[in-house]
Chain A
Amino acid sequence: MKLRFICLLLCLFIISPISIAAMPETVHPALASMEGVNSLEAENQLLKSELELAKKPHIYFIFDLENATISLKSRGMEFKKMKIEDIKLWGRPVNTKPYTLLKRSSLFTPKREKIKPKKAEETKETKTFEIKALELEDMPASYRLTLDEGIVISVRAKSSGVFSALSNAVYRINWYLSRPILTLWNSVRNKPFTAIYITLTKEDARSLYWHFPEGTRSIIYNPS
């Protein structure tokens, strides 16, 4: 009898961990609900902020870092969607609220063509037409967007050759080395600092520069 009891206990001892391991992983219902509420709360915040922007007759952007997309929107409708190839985040997490673009800066800023008024003789004689315009191809593919509340978004085009790969690598090393210094500097000045590094395709990077002039508002959505 005693031996049987010991055998039964042994069997239970061996079987129980196996059965527990074989059981599907379950999350405590309260925890699952909490996650659900958090995600709904984040969505609620996004919708509230978007509604604030959509009420006005302007173009706005949503940087959805969770789904790695940038959407150009107006009145709640999406007109352009760009895929973010890579994201790096640094510093203070951003709130889901509208931010204003204060400054776009790049190494080679596109310059507007100054039109020279024609002279009377030129008007009659010249028949050739030369296009002097600022077009999408003239936009930079690597630049920095400075938003209010110390948010800096560095945009880089995806590498498409040895030179651009090298340039991106150097930029990324510089980004990683300079972020802590900038954090420290802003901390001393008691100012918030958030750095976001995003990689887009060359076309999308240029397109974002074109459609995102100073003064445009945007929401950065990063619930995680």
Chain B
Amino acid sequence: MNTIKDSMGKGLKGLMTQKKKIFLISIIVLAVFLVMEAAGYFLSSRSTTHLKTDSKDVKVNTKSLNVFKARNNVLKNRLAGLSPKGTYIVVDTALNRLYLKKGDKTLKEIVISAGSGGILEDPAGNREWVFDTPRGELSVQSKTVDPVWIKPDWAFIEEGEPVPQNFKERVEEGVLGEYALSIGNGYLIHGTLYTRLLGRNVTHGCIRVGDEDLKAVYNTSTIGTKVIIF
């Protein structure tokens, strides 16, 4: 009986010391964490004050104010001078919208289809295509009436067809609508047979536009017209 009590007592003592240990470790961890937090706060506030006092010593008078204003106006004018002259095209690939613009004015808002963002791998080789609409500032490089589609390799691979060696087999008529505007690197602004998909990201990178709207885009733009895509 005594031995049982003894072993129970030892067990309890052991448990207590273990609990104490855990408690002590927790306190130490918490203390270290708090010290680190405090050090972090201190370092952060020090860097803030250090940079804030690092301002230039400027002699202030009305003349210098006017000089600053004049300098800023020069920069503003230089910035304004960079904007496209005449009509330009803006494409929002997230909203699938094309805007015909002149200065700050929007002449027309058009629902389009932009790139799907899909990836196609060539099962036979190391080629890969990413179907994104290119972003940035591009320009209209050529304009075509009744365009024909020269099918690239990916179009055959996607359809599970062999890539033809003969050029004629790549030519497909009537799929790009009545007009096409090339914006470089094989990307076009063209018409579509799938008008119900306008407003969705479904293309292979080109910009699809409905027939009536395409006519307006074609007539408004000239070779060199800026196309800003984001």
* A182: min CB distance to chain B, Å: 7
Assess the B202–A74 pair: CB atoms within 8 A.
Answer: no
**A75 within 8 A of partner (CB):** yes
Q: Given known contacts A47-B79, A75-B228, A113-B117, is B44 in contact with A37 (CB within 8 Å)?
A: no
Contacts of B123 in A (CB 8 A): 117
State in angstroms the CA–CA spacing of A134 and B115 once bound together: 9
CB under 8 Å from chain A, chain B span 35-60: 36-41, 43-44, 47-48, 51-52, 55-56, 58, 60
Assess the A136–B72 pair: CB atoms within 8 A.
Answer: no
Assess the A51–B56 pair: CB atoms within 8 A.
Answer: no
State in angstroms the CA–CA spacing of A180 and B33 once bound together: 10
Partner-A contacts on B (CB < 8 A): 36-41, 43-44, 47-48, 51-52, 55-56, 58, 60-62, 64-65, 68-69, 71-72, 75-76, 78-80, 82-84, 90, 92-95, 104, 116-121, 123, 130-131, 135-138, 157-161, 197, 200-202, 228, 230
* B182: min CB distance to chain A, Å: 17
> Using an 8 Å CB-CB cutoff, how does the interface string of A185-213 with B read, 1 for contact, 0 for none?
00100000000000000000011001101
Which of A47, A112, A183, A206 interacts with B117 by CB under 8 Å?
A: A112
State in angstroms the CA–CA spacing of A123 and B197 once bound together: 20
Assess the A41–B56 pair: CB atoms within 8 A.
Answer: yes
Assess the B158–A115 pair: CB atoms within 8 A.
Answer: yes
Q: Which residue of A lies closest to B69 (CB)?
A: A40
Contacts of A167 in B (CB 8 A): none
Q: Which residue of B lies closest to A93 (CB)?
A: B51
The 5 closest A-B pairs by CB, nearest first: A180-B40, A57-B137, A134-B117, A76-B79, A47-B75
Contacts of A211 in B (CB 8 A): 94, 230
Assess the B40–A184 pair: CB atoms within 8 A.
Answer: yes
* A51: min CB distance to chain B, Å: 6
Q: Given known contacts A36-B65, A47-B75, A133-B202, is B119 in contact with A114 (CB within 8 Å)?
A: yes
Q: Given known contacts A114-B119, A131-B200, A136-B95, is B40 in contact with A179 (CB within 8 Å)?
A: yes
- A-B contacts besides A40-B69, A51-B82, 11 pairs, CB < 8 Å: A41-B68, A44-B68, A57-B138, A75-B84, A93-B51, A117-B157, A133-B116, A136-B94, A180-B38, A181-B40, A211-B230
Q: Given known contacts A117-B123, A180-B39, A181-B37, is B55 in contact with A38 (CB within 8 Å)?
A: yes
Q: Which residue of A lies closest to B64 (CB)?
A: A37
Contacts of B120 in A (CB 8 A): 114-115, 117
Q: Given known contacts A57-B136, A112-B119, is B79 in contact with A131 (CB within 8 Å)?
A: no
Which of A36, A51, A90 interacts with B44 by CB under 8 Å?
A: A90
* B88: min CB distance to chain A, Å: 9
13 contacts between A and B (CB under 8 A): A34-B58, A40-B72, A57-B137, A58-B136, A77-B228, A92-B44, A93-B51, A131-B197, A133-B201, A181-B36, A182-B40, A183-B41, A184-B40
Which of A74, A114, A131 interacts with B230 by CB under 8 Å?
A: A74
Q: Which residue of A lies closest to B66 (CB)?
A: A40
Q: Given known contacts A57-B137, A133-B117, is B48 in contact with A123 (CB within 8 Å)?
A: no
State in angstroms the CA–CA spacing of A58 and B136 once bound together: 5
State in angstroms the CA–CA spacing of A102 and B6 once bound together: 65
State in angstroms the CA–CA spacing of A91 and B50 once bound together: 11
State in angstroms the CA–CA spacing of A84 and B230 once bound together: 20
Instruction: Pick from A112, A133, A177 the residue with the most CB of B within 10 Å.
Output: A133
State in angstroms the CA–CA spacing of A180 and B138 once bound together: 44
* B193: min CB distance to chain A, Å: 12
**A147 within 8 A of partner (CB):** no
**A72 within 8 A of partner (CB):** yes
State in angstroms the CA–CA spacing of A161 and B43 once bound together: 37
> Using an 8 Å CB-CB cutoff, how does the interface string of A149-178 with B read, 1 for contact, 0 for none?
000000000000000000000000000010
Assess the B60–A34 pair: CB atoms within 8 A.
Answer: yes
